[in-house]
Amino acid sequence: MTTKTKTALQRIADGLQVRLARWLPRHIPIAFKLALIMTLLLVLGMASLGLFISENQNRLIRTQLHDFGSTMALQLAKLASEPILSENGLNLRMLTTNLGQDEKILGAGIYAHDGELLSATGLQPTLAAPSSDANSVISRPWFRSAPDGAAERLISFEAPATYQGVRVGSVVVTLSASQMDQAALRARKAIIYATLAMTVLASLLAYWLSRRLSLPIHHLMEATQAIGRGDLAIRIDQRRNDEIGFLFEGFNNMAAGLLKKSQVEQVFSRYVSKSVADKVLANLDEVRLVDRPIEATVLFADITGFTAMSEKLEPQQVSELLNEYFSYISHACTLYGGVVDKFIGDCAMLVFGVLEDDTDHAFNAVSCAVLIQQLAAQLNEQRRADGRPEVHFRIGINCGAMLAGNLGSDERMEYTVVGDAVNLASRLCCEAEPDQIIIRKQLFTLLQPRIVAQAGQTLPIRGKSAPVQIYSVQDIHGDARPQLATNLRMVLNSKTVQQNLRAADHA
């Protein structure tokens, strides 16, 4: 190499060094350097160890595969030697057929001394000239096209079939080498995963070192993550007289505002349906929900004899009784996809198919009514045992066209449903007897294959020009019965219900 060439290469190296120096930061923290060195050492060590383990595993699998193939070939050769000599084709076919039933063996073949195929099953390689060594097993690797178009590697083991020291033919057992390939692939994946794990470990160490230098930012990050998890009561108590202190103060003010907003949303959701609350809070700029005509089902559930019952109870006991049973009704309504429209004294108004699309809202409403009556029946058994007055519901249900929208003024409004179908449901509830569910004939005709109902009398309904044929629902049919029983257990065992029961017992 000439002097001019050496000088040119030196200039190129100096230029690269200058450019590299411009790109790199002037100051590299010692924590970063130590973390980088430890990460590299751990990665190299794990990669070396993984390669060593992978190689040993592959060698062991290859040995096991060759031992298995050789053993099977020798056994087949031993069993086939006499049938080859006696030209017993039936025994030869039985040998290859039985061997081919092993999932590990892809093919088995028995050949005569001149190379003629006597019996075979599965895959067969193209054999070369028979081996002259009568005491050895020869492995012949070859390939075939798999169904997916890929090349599958196979290994055929050829063993001589001898009878009293004389070679009478040969046998071939074919195995798949994909097991070795899959093991090698798993070993490579293990190396990658171990390397990644060590990289994460080294990164954590680097994080611990750098954390000592950026502890205030770390506190802010943890507090931000707590806010993301919903812990709005988190606060940073550190007091600092620098920019970080102002940042902490701004974060605390933000967290206090979010906590107040969350509390307002929770209280709001208790006074209106959760679905309505979600829709309103999602669009605070335009509070009004769009009025729209819908086809839905309304259910009115009223406690019979409540006025007489309340005269015998303290006001606190009346409140606890209503809260207890309204909790049951609210839970039952949710299980069948309905929403509580409102509580009117001792009456609950439930709607189905209003806020959420529900093509089976009529049946869900009837199922909810049956659940409420069964629930009341079970609770009355406990109330009788405790010496408390029983609670009975009368329920009216109607399905039809109605208008879902806002009622009220700009200062106070509610989202509800109105229409003739709603009024009729209320009238049916008033006509029902204790523990009775009343529907009109049109709804019975719609649900007739799925409910158990008995025809009642034709009643004149105030506000209706023609009398209404009513039906009394006793139960529901078919596959919905197990779900009804499951829902009944869920309501009785719910945490909210248990709390209400304890409060009522205490009173």
Q: pLDDT digit string (tens) for 236-293?
A: 777 777 666 777 777 777 777 777 766 656 654 555 555 555 555 555 545 444 567 8
Please check whether residue 117 is in contact with residue 111, taking contact to mean a CB–CB distance below 8 angstroms: yes
Tokens matching residue 131 = 């081996």
What secondary structure letter does DSSP report for 90? H
User: CA-to-CA distance for 215 and 244, rounded, in angstroms?
Assistant: 11
Enumerate the H helices of 387-440 as residue ranges. Answer: 420-431
pLDDT of residue 268: 47
Taking each helix axis from N to C terminus, what angle separates 361-386 and 480-493, rounded to the nearest 10 degrees? 50
Tokens matching residue 206 = 């680097």
Tokens matching residue 24 = 């790199």
For residue 296, give every residue at least 6 positions away whose Cβ sits within 8 Å of its Cβ, in sequence order, or none: 351, 352, 353, 354, 361, 399, 402, 404, 417, 421
The length of the chain in residues reads 507
pLDDT of residue 132: 46
Tokens matching residue 299 = 């259910």
End-to-end CA distance of the chain: 104
Q: Write the single-letter amino acid at 437.
A: I
User: CA-to-CA distance for 398 and 400, rounded, in angstroms?
Assistant: 7
Give CA separation, 262 vs 221, 231, 320, in Å.
Answer: 21, 11, 27
Give CA separation, 381 vs 310, 375, 377, in Å.
Answer: 20, 10, 7
pLDDT of residue 371: 95
> Which residues in the chain show pLDDT less than 70?
1-6, 8, 14-36, 38, 42, 46, 50, 127-135, 146, 179-180, 183-184, 187, 202-203, 205-207, 209-218, 242-244, 261-291, 408-413, 463, 495-507
Tokens matching residue 44 = 């190299």
